[in-house]
C-alpha cells in the first residue's frame, strides 16, 4: 500500500475508503446470497478484509493490534462464561450463554 500511495494511487479521504468498504460488503453479500463457489466467496471476503485494513490505516488504527486485542477480549469473555456457568456449556442454550456473555461484556 505504501508503493501505491507514493505514486498517487490512493483514496483522498476516509469517506471514500468507507464507501469502498461498503461496496465490497455488498459484493460479498451478493456472492453469499447466490451461494457461489468457496473460491469466489473467499475472494470477496479477502476484498472486504483488504478494504477494512485500508480504512483502519486511514483512521490511524493498526489492524494487527486491533485484531490481537479483540482476540484477547473474546478469550476473556469466553473464560467468564466457562467460569460462571452452572452446568456444562454443552447443556446450555445459546440464549443462556449470550446472557453470560453480556455479563462479561458489562464488566
- As a three-state string, the secondary structure of the chain is CHHHHHCCCCCCCHHHHHHHHHHHHHHHHHHHHCCCCHHHHHHHHHHHHHHHHHHHHHCCCCHHHHHHHHHHHHHHHHHHHHHHCCCCHHHCCHHHHHHHHHHHHHC
Q: Please give the tally of structural domains in the chain.
A: 2
Look at residues 61, 81, 97 and tell me which one is the last residue of a structural domain: 61
Q: Along the 107 residues of the chain, how does pLDDT read in single tens digits?
A: 666 665 556 788 999 999 999 999 999 999 999 989 999 999 999 999 999 999 999 999 999 999 999 999 999 999 999 999 999 999 999 999 999 999 999 98
Say if residue 57 is in the same domain as residue 73: no
Say if residue 50 is in the same domain as residue 74: no
Say if residue 84 is in the same domain as residue 106: yes
Q: Give pTM, 2 decimals.
A: 0.78
Amino acid at each position: 500500500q505504501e508503493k501505491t500511495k507514493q505514486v498517487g494511487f490512493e483514496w483522498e479521504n476516509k469517506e471514500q475508503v468507507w464507501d469502498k468498504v461498503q461496496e465490497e460488503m455488498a459484493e460479498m453479500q451478493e456472492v453469499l446470497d447466490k451461494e457461489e463457489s468457496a473460491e469466489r466467496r473467499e475472494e470477496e471476503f479477502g476484498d472486504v478484509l483488504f478494504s477494512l485494513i485500508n480504512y483502519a490505516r486511514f483512521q490511524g488504527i493498526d489492524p494487527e493490534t486491533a485484531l490481537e486485542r479483540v482476540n484477547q477480549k473474546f478469550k476473556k469473555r469466553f473464560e467468564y462464561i466457562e467460569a460462571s456457568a452452572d452446568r456444562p456449556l454443552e447443556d446450555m442454550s445459546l440464549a443462556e450463554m449470550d446472557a453470560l456473555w453480556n455479563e462479561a461484556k458489562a464488566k
